[in-house]
Amino acid sequence: MSLFHIESDRSKYPQPGDDGKLVVDLDSHKYVKLWQGPNHPGVTGNMAIELTLAGDEIVQAKTHVGYLHRGFEKLIERRLFLQGMQTSIRMCVAEPDTNEYVYCQCVEELSGIEIPEMAKWIRTLVLEMSRLQSFLRVVPGQGGTTGLGIGVQWGMYMRELILDRFEELTGGRIYHMYFTPGGVRGLLPQGFKKRMEENLKEIDDFIIRIDDLMYSNAVFKKRTVDVAVINPSWVDKYGIVGPVARSAGFNRDVRKDYPYLIYDQLDFEPKVMNHSDIYNRSRIRWYELQQSVDLIRQIMARMPENGDFKAPTPNVLHWEIPKGEAYVRAESSRGEYGLYMVTDGSTKPRRVNLRGPSYTQAVCLLEDMLVGANIADVHSIMVSLQTCPPEIER
C-alpha cells in the first residue's frame, strides 16, 4: 500500500440488499434527490434522469421520458400510407433518413414492390450521408461533455456542409422526404458528386484534427478511459446494439448481417473493440465516421449515372395493402433501427411500431449503468450511449 493511499469509508453509502440492488432509505436524510433534465445542457434531448446521490456518487437513477410524446404511432394509424411518411420521419430528429428507409421498405415489402437498381444506390448514398452527419455531431460532442468545446464547433461546421448537400439533393436540411414508397424522388443534381468530394476532403482533414484534439488529450482520456464500462454479458441482456455493442466485442452490424439495398456490393468491415468504456465507444464512432466517408466515395464511384429511380405504385389515395406484417431493420449511427408494420387490407396501417436503440439503452441500461457513477459523468455516459428521447416516446 502506498504512503498516500486512503481507504475510503463506505459505511455511510447504501449497502446491497438480498436482490443485489442497493437499499436506499430516503427517510434517513443521507441522500440528495436531483433531477438532471428535462431542460438541462447535460442531457441529450428532452428527457430527465431522477438521480439519488450520496455525496457526488449516484446510488439510484430513474429515466423519465414523455416530454416529447406526440403520439406518432397513433397518428399514423389514421393516415394513408403516403401520409404516414411525413409523420414517421419525425420520430427521430437526429437521423430521419433511417426512418424514411424502414417505413418505405415496410410498405414495399407488404405491397410486393421491387425498387429499381438506381433507387437502391441513391438510398444507400443518402443513408450513409445521414450516418455521416450524425457522427459529425456525436463524435466531437463526446469531447464537449468533458469541456472540450472547440471540437463541437468544428463538427457542427462539417455537419453543415453535409446538410448543404442534403438541401441540394432533397430541398430540405433536416427532414428530407427524399425516399418515397417505390424508390426516390429524383436523380442526383449535376455536379453533386464534385461538390460532395470537396466536402469529403474537408471532413478528411477534420478527422485527423479531431484525433489530435480529443483522443490524444490527457484530460479527455482521464475523464473517459475505464469510465462506465459495459460488460459483454450485458449486450444481450439489455438489448445493446450498434457501436456500443461493437465496442464490447460483438461483431454485429445490420449492413453486414442482413444486407439491404446495395451494402453487399460495398467493401467494408465493421470495426470491433473489446473494452467498452466511454473512450472506446467514442473511438469506434470515429472509425465509423471514416468508414462512412469511404462508403460515400465507393457509392459515388460505382453508382450508375442514369436509370429509373421509382417503381410504379398504385394511386396513393386508394392504395390498399393486403393483410400482413413486416419488420424491417437498418443500421443507423446508433445501431439497429427497426419498424414493425401491420396491415389489414385497408388504406391505412393497422399498427406501426418503431424499435430504436435508445429504447433499451436510455432506459434500463442507463438506469443500471449510472449506479456508482460520479454525477459529473452523467452527460458523458449519455452521449456515449447516443441516447435519443424521441425514438423512445414516438
Partner 1 sequence: MKNLINKLSKVYELSDVVYQRPNFTYATTTKENTISLITQLRDLEGFSHFVLLSCVDWIEDNLFQLTYILNNPTQKYDIAIRCMIDRNEAAMTSAHYLWEQIATYQRELKEMYGIEFPGSPRLNENFILEGWDNIPPMRRDFDTKKYSEETFFPRERPSSNDPATYMKSRLHPDEWDGKIAE
Long-range CB contacts (< 8 A, 24+ apart) of 207-214?
207/286, 207/289, 207/290, 207/293, 209/154, 210/139, 210/140, 210/143, 210/151, 210/154, 210/155, 210/286, 211/286, 213/143, 213/148, 213/150, 213/151, 214/140, 214/142, 214/143, 214/148, 214/151, 214/282
Shortest distance, position 154 Cβ to partner 1, whole Å: 35
Q: Which is nearer to partner 1, 176 or 334 (CB)?
A: 334
Shortest distance, position 41 Cβ to partner 1, whole Å: 24
Q: Which is nearer to partner 1, 273 or 364 (CB)?
A: 364
Q: Which of 305, 333, 346 has its CA nearest to residue 141?
A: 333
Site for partner 1 in 205-244 (CB under 8 A): 236-239
Shortest distance, position 263 Cβ to partner 1, whole Å: 14
Q: Which of 315, 325, 392 has its CA nearest to residue 352?
A: 325
Q: Which one of 363, 373, 378, 385 is in contact with partner 1 (CB under 8 A)?
A: 363
Q: Considering the rule CB under 8 A, would residue 65 count as an interface residue with partner 1? A: yes
Q: Considering the rule CB under 8 A, would residue 115 count as an interface residue with partner 1? A: no
Q: Which is nearer to partner 1, 57 or 368 (CB)?
A: 368
Residue 50 pairs in a beta bridge with 35, 62
Q: Which one of 325, 371, 374, 375 is in contact with partner 1 (CB under 8 A)?
A: 325
Q: Considering the rule CB under 8 A, would residue 116 count as an interface residue with partner 1? A: no
Q: Considering the rule CB under 8 A, would residue 365 count as an interface residue with partner 1? A: yes
Site for partner 1 in 259-318 (CB under 8 A): none
What are the b/e assignments for 342-372, b being 16+ CB within 10 Å? Answer: bbeeebbbeebebbbbbbbbbbebbeebbbe
Per CB under 8 A, residues contacting partner 1 are 65-66, 69, 71, 73-75, 77-78, 109, 236-239, 250, 252, 257-258, 324-327, 329, 336, 338, 340, 342, 350-351, 353, 355, 359-360, 363-365, 368, 393
